[in-house]
Chains A and B, each alone.
Chain A
Amino acid sequence: MLDLLAQTGLNAVYAASYISLIAVGLVLIFGVMGVINFAHGELYMAGAYSVVLFYSDFELPFMIAVAAGLLFVGCLGLLMERTLFRPLKDNPLGGLVASIGFLMIMQALASMGFGVRMEHIPPVTQHVIEFSERVRLPMARLFVIIAAVVLLSALWIFLKKTRFGWALRAAAQDPEAAALQGISINQTARIAMFIGAGLAGIAGALTAPLVSVNPHMGHSVIVTAFIVIIVGGVGSLEGAVIASVVYAIVHTFVTTFFDGVIADITGLSLMLLVLIVKPTGLFGSADRA
């Protein structure tokens, strides 16, 4: 029993790691741009396909493929900012519709380029850390956990200590006041989109060898990310991280002890409950939207 708990706990830590990478990106984009990026799951998918392309097809080193994924998806974010979200700044439903359109295009491109079948990616490492007979942590999962901790810490330092980070937070809180202070809204939007998309991309790239990579893999991820950002409080980065951990623990344990569908229902019910009781989220304050 203790083994099972420990193993489930490790699974939860792994899940929390990649979920928080995705959710933090989504929150960052929402905070600065004021739009919900429905195509965020497809950015994650694009990161995974970068690894398919560069690592399994071109046989480049895995880390280079991951870096390429980060860059490529970050640039996709810049493209979305320039072509979709900036022109639709004053149209609340517009950003939503445009991001859904983008989602469909991405899925279609992935199907056309790689086929709808699941991709097989050769494992990066077979190494497994064995804590005991039944408590094991594959190295590949440990990579994801370490990467999430490093990246989120770096982001935290960037946001709290640098001028860019200060501008980003100011723009997220009050775009008009920030503009009056001489902060370029377009510049901060670009940075936020690049980072937000890049985080989704890197999450996709890192988990690519561990999950089934297919053109529709973004769907389950976006639902999870929505739950997390609502529970954490829309616009709160710290809340998103905490909620990712909470969600991952709840979901992993319910999956282990009941089944996956019940776990999904629990997650959604958790979100609905938060929306009913405290719509600003458990860790958020009332601001945008």
Chain B
Amino acid sequence: MTQFLEVDNLTMRFGGLTAVDGLSFKVNHGEIHGLIGPNGAGKTTTFNMISGFYKPTEGQVRLRGEDISGLKMHEVARRGVVRTFQHSTLFGELSVLDNALVGTHMLFRPNIFAAIMGWDKEDRKGAEARALEALEFFGLLHLKDDLAGDLSHGHQRALGMAVAYASHPDVMLLDEPFTGMNPEETRQMMGLMRKLRDDGITILLVEHDMQAIMGLCDTITCMSFGKFLAEGGPEEIRHHPAVIEAYLGGARHVA
């Protein structure tokens, strides 16, 4: 059986610096998969290669057996792999609803002639329904007419995920989704992610917040200095000596 999402010998060099070095791991369908590692381990670089933001120097990313490495970001997205961004990257000048509508771009591809003639009423209705659905899922429906730039930090993070979710993705790549969230928001966000998984969406997330990742992930891959270090369930990783060594210099237990 071909693997759902497979990272194979992925390598990224910036000039003389090797940020990611021969990394391989597999993500199973329908799981929440965490990618962790100390600062500078190359997590974000890996993430950017999977989403098509960077073109890897070597190696492949395969989705259902198809090599998607080196594709442009929108081409990766059209294969069902949609990412979020680390900072609150949103269309700050547009309304919350419009943000979500951009997320429906792939489902209801705009057609300029239909738009001029007014033949796209069905599509526009469908897109709006889907956008509202995504906003409701993330509890943002009551804010739909606000400007995205005016939202609170937690709401902005949620909207970032709603934009990604609106496109009906197979895989969501989440870049540090819990950064800057208070414990209550983190707890809510974890609940939403489980709901996403139960909807059949595979999640790959890069995260610093160990508490969240331990309680949430089905499988965790740990990397250090650009290389694969360990993989396993949360319990396994928590007690893995190499992980403890890498993460905290062996000084104390993880989390």
The answer to whether A and B touch in the complex, with CB atoms under 8 Å apart, is no
